[in-house]
A = this chain, B = another copy of it.
């Protein structure tokens, strides 16, 4: 029989077990932080009906969808009527509209699942990747104060992950939109185009943004004022002060200014460290979907990563599926991409490099197997993740196995130790070993693992 070459589909991230454990740790950290802030979980099926999934966007997204069809459907010559989700927002909209009466509003959901894009595979682009989303959905209305909670959660997550300094940038699209409107730029399309240029500041620099917005009809003075605001690098208080000095009575501007002021106050009340958030008016998010607050998160040492966590406030989640008005605010971590960056740039913290297996019990003497199994069982009851080495193998091979697996401790018990009621505890990283009485083993492990955290 000729062999089929085993291969993973390009554009997917498949990890070896030790990497998978690190991934899992990050995933758990995100999930527990979401829960700590009172978000509750949902999961949706990987596929949706085609007409539900493709209402929203048209254009670019439709070119990247994966269609799904069963053998039966194919044989009958039908067209595919299902497709894999390409984000978690459309499934959320469908979910909320479908289960509206059974949900509690404001609806605070988290969802951490894989999404799919039929892209050409290339470095850093994934066809299958995890998104970790939180959204708060209101019925008819949603207080702007919710916009302050999301950066507080994101700050806690990135602090816990210990990947170095990071900044959560936020702004409110109403500020610039209102300012423009106050200057008589009332044409919606033109204002959006100006915001799109503002969004490019980091990439194309001050001069090009100035030219672009002037070309869209702003006077030199107006363009100057916009640039002064969006290039401001001061503290939140300083940026707020600058905004309060702007002569503008446009109600949208005033609303935006109120919302960011309230956000700054709430961030302090939530105890978010000052340096973790920045009021950055150049953040505009290209997407017209967002109507108020917008967020982006950067890793300070690596601006080239771009944003690793983004989102914002939107007017209405599910207008395609329900007449109810469902305003919301949400933010999303693209976990697969983030993990890829952390691995590639070697930013994965040391404390994550150990195996989830804490203790490996060696097989020194096959006649003692029942004793080894019982010992493992006792340590599991004490709360440890324990593996029995159960193949007949030389100690050297067993040590190599433990070392390769990243297991921190190995227990050795031969007939001598068995007779004495002792066991040898081998610290594989420190390359040291101690013989201790079995009665003291759990205490010994407790001390060792308390230090190891």
Contacts and interface: CB of A to CB of B under 8 A. Distances in A.
Interface of A: 1, 3-9, 12, 14-18, 20-21, 24, 35-38, 40-49, 51-52, 55, 62-74, 80, 82, 84, 93-95, 97-99, 102-104, 106, 108-109, 114, 116, 118, 128, 138, 141-143, 145-146, 148-149, 152, 156, 265-266, 268-271, 318-323, 355-357, 360, 369-371, 373-374, 376-377, 380, 384-388, 390-392, 401, 404-405
Contact of A15 (B42, B80, B373, B390): B42
25 contacts: A1-B319, A3-B322, A4-B55, A8-B45, A9-B47, A9-B48, A9-B82, A20-B42, A21-B40, A35-B385, A40-B355, A40-B356, A40-B405, A46-B114, A46-B116, A47-B128, A63-B72, A66-B70, A67-B74, A69-B80, A104-B404, A104-B405, A265-B370, A266-B369, A271-B374
Given A5-B321, A145-B390, 8 more contacts: A3-B321, A8-B45, A67-B69, A68-B68, A106-B390, A145-B369, A270-B373, A270-B376
B66 A9 contact: no
B385 A38 contact: yes
B380 A37 contact: yes
Secondary structure of the A side of the interface? mixed
Nearest to A319: B1
Contacts of A6: 52, 93-95, 97-98, 318, 321-322
A351 to B, nearest CB: 17
A41 to B, nearest CB: 5
A126 to B, nearest CB: 10
Nearest to A79: B74
